[in-house]
Amino acid sequence: MESLNNKTVGNSQKQEIPIYLTVCLVIAASSIVSLFNGIIRSFFILPIKLDTLFIYGIYLVIVLLSLKTILARSRPLPYIVISFLVLGYLITFLLNSYYDEYFINVGIDFLALSAPWLFAAYAVRDYKQFKKYLYISALIILLSYVANLFLFSNDLLGSHSYQQYYAYLLLPAALIFLDALYDKKRLSIFVFFILAFLFIISMGARGPVVCVVLYILLKIIANYKMKTKKTVYFSAFLALLGLVTYIFFYDILAKLLLIFVNYNLSTRIIAGLMEGNFFKDNARIQLIAYSVDLLKEKPLFGVGLGYDRILLADKMGSANILSEIVGWYPHNIFLEILLHFGLFFGSVAILFMIRVLYISIFKNANKYAVDTICIFMGVGFFPLLFSGSYITSPEFFALIGFCLFQYKNIKVANKVYDRQLSN
C-alpha cells in the first residue's frame, strides 16, 4: 500500500514538471536559446536558424504538455483580470482603427506573449519544488552570459557600452542567487550572486541595480514578518553590510572604477554614483511630464490601453510615429494604468493590485510562495516603476498569477477560520 502511495506521489510530481518548466521559460528562454545556439554554431553552420527553431519547438512541446493542467486549474479570478484588460484593449482598438497594424502587433505582444503567463503561474502548486527549477534557470542564465562573453566571442559589453537588455536578462539570476543565500549560506552561491551583480553593473544599466536594492529591502521586511531567527539574522547581516558599504561608499566606487577602466567595461553606473546623477534621466522625466498632461486632458476614461504610445511618440516629436513607437510609454506602471483606464477605473485596478500583492507577501504563511513572489516582484514589478510596460511584460503577468492564487487561498482560509470561530 505504501509503495502504491509513493508511486502516486511520484507520478503527481512528474505532472508538475511541465508547469515548472513553462513558468521558468519566462526568465530563462532567451538565455537558453543563446547558450544552445552558441554551442551549436561553434561546430556547425545551419541554414535558416534551425538551432533556434529546434529550441522553440521544445518550448512548444513543454507548453502543450502543461496546457491541460493549466486550464484545469484556472479559476474565475484570473479570467476576470484578463477580461478587464482585453476589454480595454478592444475598445481602444475599435475607437482608433486607423492604427490597425499597430494595435494588432500590440495585441500579439499582450495576448499571446504576456498575458498567458498569468494562467501558467496560477497553476503552480508546490513552490518548494518550483524554486529548485528557478535555481537551475539562474545557473543557465549566468552560464549563458559567461559562455557568450568568453567562449563564443559575442561582444555583449562592447567598449564602454550600455547594454540594458543583457542586464535585465541577468537580473533574475542575481535575485534567485540572493534568495538561495537565505536558505543555504554557501560560498558558491555567494560567488554566483557577486558574478551576476558585477556583470549587471559592468553593463551600465541603472534599473537592474535599483531592482536588486529594492528586492533586498522587500526580503528584509518579508522575513521580519515571518519572524524566523535564521532569516532575521541574515537580514541583519545584509543591513550591516549595507551600512559598511554606505560608510566606505566612495572608496569602493573608486576601486571598482579603476578595475572597470582596466578591463574596458562600462563605467556609466559608477561614474553616475560618484557624480551624484545616478537617477537623472531627462528622457524619462519628459515622458512622465507628457503622460501627466495626457491624463489631465482625458482624466475620466484615459486614452485607452496601448494608445498612449502613439500620443507620446507624437508629443516627443518623432518623425515617423509608427516606426519609433516602441519605447514611448510612461515608464511607470501606476501612471501607465491611470493613462490607460482613467482616474476612477485605473485607481480601482491599482488598489486591487496593491491589495493582492500585499496580502500575498505579508499575510502569507507559505514561506516558499513568499520567496517566489519576492523574486518575481524583483523581475516583474520593480522594473516597471521606471522602465518597460506591463502589457508586454510576461514577468509581470507571472507575478500576478502567483499572487492571485495565494490571495484566493488566504481569503478561503480566513473564511474557514471565521466559520470555525463562529461555530
Task: Tell me the CA distances in angstroms from 158 to 24, 154, 194, 269, 318, one per residue in order.
Answer: 29, 9, 21, 16, 28
Answer yes or no: are the C-beta atoms of 212 and 170 closer than 8 Å. Answer: no
Can you give the pLDDT at residue 351?
93
Task: Tell which residue, 337, 261, 334, has the closest CA to residue 301.
Answer: 337
**The C-alpha cell that represents 352 in the structure block:** 486591487
Can you give the pLDDT at residue 353?
94
Q: Is the pLDDT of residue 405 over 80?
A: yes
Higher-scoring residue by pLDDT: 351, 156? 351
CB atoms within 10 A of CB 38: 17
Q: Which tens digits make up the pLDDT trace of 246-263?
A: 555 556 666 666 766 665
Task: Tell me the CA distances in angstroms from 152 to 42, 155, 166, 198, one per residue in order.
Answer: 7, 9, 16, 20
Can you give the pLDDT at residue 262?
64
Highest mean pLDDT among 24-38, 52-66, 128-142, 156-170: 128-142
Higher-scoring residue by pLDDT: 321, 76? 76
Can you give the pLDDT at residue 249?
53
Residues 347-382: b if buried by 16+ CB within 10 A, e if exposed: eebeeebeebbebbbeebeebebbbbbbbbbbbbbb
What is the residue extent of each domain of the chain?
A: 77-113+298-423, 155-280
Mean pLDDT for 10-31 is 86
Can you give the pLDDT at residue 9?
46
Task: Tell which residue, 62, 68, 73, 61, has the closest CA to residue 23.
Answer: 62
Q: Which tens digits make up the pLDDT trace of 187-207?
A: 899 999 999 988 887 776 778
pLDDT, the chain, mean: 81
Greatest Cα-to-Cα distance within the chain, rounded to the nearest angstrom? 73
What CA–CA distance (Å, rounded) separates 22 from 172?
16
Can you give the pLDDT at residue 267?
52
What CA–CA distance (Å, rounded) separates 375 from 369?
10
Task: Tell which residue, 154, 182, 134, has the closest CA to residue 39.
Answer: 154
- The reported pTM is 0.85
**The C-alpha cell that represents 319 in the structure block:** 518623425
The one-letter amino acid code at 299 reads P
Can you give the pLDDT at residue 182?
83
Q: Which tens digits make up the pLDDT trace of 346-368?
A: 999 999 999 999 999 999 989 99
What CA–CA distance (Å, rounded) separates 192 from 198?
10
First to last CA, the chain: 37
The pLDDT confidence band at residue 121, using thresholds 50, 70 and 90, is very high
Can you give the pLDDT at residue 382?
95
3-class secondary structure, 306: coil
Q: Is the pLDDT of residue 408 over 60?
A: yes
The pLDDT confidence band at residue 324, using thresholds 50, 70 and 90, is very low
Backbone angles phi, psi at 380, to 5 degrees: -120, -10
What CA–CA distance (Å, rounded) separates 423 from 420?
5
What CA–CA distance (Å, rounded) separates 349 from 355?
10
Can you give the pLDDT at residue 319?
47
Q: DSSP labels for 210-255? A: HHHHHHHHHHHHHHHHHT-HHHHHHHHHHHHHHHHHHHTHHHHHHH
Task: Tell me the CA distances in angstroms from 199 to 86, 150, 196, 203, 206, one per residue in order.
Answer: 38, 13, 5, 7, 12
Q: Is the pLDDT of residue 17 over 50?
A: yes
Can you give the pLDDT at residue 261?
61
Mean pLDDT for 1-15 is 54
Q: How buried is residue 171: exposed, middle or buried, by Cβ count under 10 Å (0-12/13-18/19+)?
A: buried
The pLDDT confidence band at residue 109, using thresholds 50, 70 and 90, is confident
In angstroms and rounded to an integer, the radius of gyration of the C-alpha atoms of the chain is 23
